[in-house]
Each structure stands twice: as C-alpha cells, then as structure tokens.
A = this chain, B = another copy of it.
C-alpha cells in the first residue's frame, strides 16, 4: 500500500494521466474550500478528480489525511503567491506596508480560481476548526497575525499596551475577514457591496484609510509616532486609488 511514502523509488508517473493523488489534492482543495471539511464528501471529491472512492484512503489514509495534505500543499503555494515580504520592498512606510498586507490578505480568499482555495480554507478553520487547525494551520495564522500586530504596534508607538495593540489588530482583521465570513449576507444586506467584491484594490483602500484613522486616534495625544502625518488629505487623495509600490507581490 501507500501509507508509508517513499517506500519505493516513486517511479515516474504512469504515462496516461497525472498522478491521481495530485488530482485528488486539486479537486479536494476546491471541494473543501466550497463546502468545508465536514460538508465535503470524499465521494464528491473523487468524482471531481475522476478517481475511485478508495483512492483517498489508499493515498492519504482517509479524508482527514487528504485534508491535511491539501492544507500543507496550499501553504507551500501560498508562500510563493503571497510571499513573506508581502508588504512592499525595503523601506516602505508603515502605511504602505499595511496596505500591502491588507491587499494580500484579501486576495488570499477573494481571488478567483484555485489560488483562493488555501485562503478560504484558512478562513474556514478560523470559524470552525478541525483537528488540522493546531496540527497544521495555527502556526501560519499566528505568524500572519504577528506580522500585522507588528505594524499596528509601529503605528501606535511605544506608549501602547499589548491589549491596545491586539484590540486594534483585531479591528483590522475583522474588517478584512468580514468579506469572507459574511459573504452570504452581502447580497442580502449590503447589495451595494456586491460590486466591490471583485475590486480588491478598492476594498484594501477603504480598509486602510478606515484603519489608519482608527489607529492614529488611539495614540495618546500628539505625535503619531511615525511620520508627521498631516491630519487629513495625506499622501493619497481620497478615492484616487494609488497602486504605488505595493505591487512587489502578485497573485498568480
């Protein structure tokens, strides 16, 4: 059987199709992302992969094993699609880096096509976790959040308490993940937002503006801690989207 990987030299693929195991992972990514771990059925995955139901147990030891493989594999891809320096190049301002982060975060699950699967799976793990959360995904989420928390702390300055930083980080994250977790209610309660769902730039712009104001308000008195930062009408005119330097990373 196949449960001990690499026990043979993993000979070159049988000519015909690509490895069924790879097709299983690909199909599973989409099905899991759409229906969630519990909602997805291995029969559905196998149908979509053109494989036999027994295949998932043969190759991955079960539904859960396949799921973890999908997560691991998606993580690898996401690391190249949305690289670690997802902010911008070197000496960008906090605001620029923050915008890059928000944009990449949004793209992770709003992107069309299979690239968004991993992001959507992460989002799903946030809402109702599976055993794979702590096994595979928690570390990634924590890293992600610490990155954001660092930027938030930078804006807040040294006077901010840890609790303040986390509250503000949560406020930013909340605004972003809203567009995944509340997607079903957007057509029903926010019909005006259906259009922007495809416009990640506009979304990122709004969340950045809204958040920067929220963050700056938090610092005790004067001195915004970094950059003199004119009160309003900062570097970027309202609404005139500026894709500036944040294009060092792209999505597929």
Cβ 8 A contact of A188, one of B138, B169, B184, B216: B138
Verify A207–B145 contact, CB threshold 8 A. Answer: no
Cβ 8 A contact of A232, one of B127, B168, B182, B217: B217
Verify B189–A145 contact, CB threshold 8 A. Answer: yes
Verify B171–A210 contact, CB threshold 8 A. Answer: yes
Would you call the interface of chain A mostly helix, strand, loop, or mixed? Answer: helix
Distance, CA A54 to CA B34, complexed state (A): 33
Contacts A173-B178, A184-B129, A213-B217 given: A189-B141 contact, CB under 8 Å?
yes
Cβ of A102 to closest chain B Cβ, rounded Å: 12
Distance, CA A235 to CA B5, complexed state (A): 66
Verify A216–B213 contact, CB threshold 8 A. Answer: yes
Contacts A38-B39, A185-B141, A213-B217 given: A170-B177 contact, CB under 8 Å?
no
Contacts of A207 in B (CB 8 A): 171
Verify B213–A238 contact, CB threshold 8 A. Answer: no
Whether A246 sits at the interface, judged by CB under 8 Å, is: no
Stretch in contact with the other chain, from A21-29, A81-89, A190-198: A190-198
Contacts A166-B192, A182-B177, A188-B142 given: A217-B221 contact, CB under 8 Å?
no
Verify A167–B196 contact, CB threshold 8 A. Answer: yes
Whether A249 sits at the interface, judged by CB under 8 Å, is: no
A residues 121-153 near B (Cβ < 8 Å) are: 125-129, 133-134, 138, 141-142, 145-146
Whether A62 sits at the interface, judged by CB under 8 Å, is: no
Q: A220 — nearest CB in chain B belongs to which residue?
A: B238
> Interface on A for B, CB 8 Å cutoff?
36, 38-39, 125-129, 133-134, 138, 141-142, 145-146, 162-163, 165-171, 173-179, 181-182, 184-185, 188-190, 192-193, 195-196, 203, 206-207, 209-218, 220-221, 231-233, 238
CB pairs A–B below 8 angstroms (29 shown): A38-B38, A38-B39, A126-B181, A127-B127, A127-B181, A129-B184, A129-B185, A141-B185, A146-B189, A163-B192, A166-B193, A167-B193, A167-B196, A167-B206, A168-B210, A170-B178, A170-B190, A171-B178, A171-B210, A173-B178, A174-B175, A174-B179, A177-B178, A177-B181, A211-B214, A213-B216, A214-B214, A221-B232, A221-B233
